[in-house]
Amino acid sequence: MNKIYAFTLAETLITIGIIGIVAALTIPNLMHKYYEKQTVAKLKETYSILSQAIKMSEEEFGSVANWEAKFDSDGANLIAERLKPFLKIANDCGLVDEKEKCIVKQVYKLKNNNDHDMDYNSNNGYYKMNLFNGSSIILRGKMSSNPENLIGIFIDTNGKTKPNKVGTDLFQFYYYEDLGLKPAGAPNTQFDYNTTCIPQTAQGFGCAYYVMNSGKMDYLWH
Domain range for residue 211?
Answer: 9-221
- Between 13 and 89, the more confident residue is 89
Per the structure, the count of domains in the chain is 1
**Omega before residue 163 within 30° of 0, cis:** yes
Position 177, amino acid: E
pLDDT tens track for 43-89: 999 999 999 999 999 999 999 999 999 999 999 999 999 999 999 99
Average pLDDT for 112-135:
94
Instruction: Kindly list the distances between the CA atom of residue 152 and the CA atoms of 21, 24, 96, in Å, as whole numbers in the listed order.
Output: 45, 41, 17
Average pLDDT, the chain: 89
Task: Assess if residue 67 is contained within a domain.
Answer: yes
Q: Among 29-38, 85-94, 168-177, which stretch is predicted with the lowest mean pLDDT?
A: 29-38
Distance of CA 184 to the CA centre of its chain: 11
How, if at all, do strands 170-176 and 180-183 pair? Answer: antiparallel
Residue 3 lies in a domain: no
The reply to whether 1 falls in a domain is: no
129-156 tens-digit pLDDT: 999 999 999 999 998 877 788 999 999 9
What is the SS3 assignment for 32-50? Answer: HHHHHHHHHHHHHHHHHHH
Is position 4 within any domain? no
Q: What's the rounded Cα separation, in Å, for the pair 166 and 111? A: 5
Question: What is the number of H-type helices and E-type strands within the chain?
Answer: 4, 6
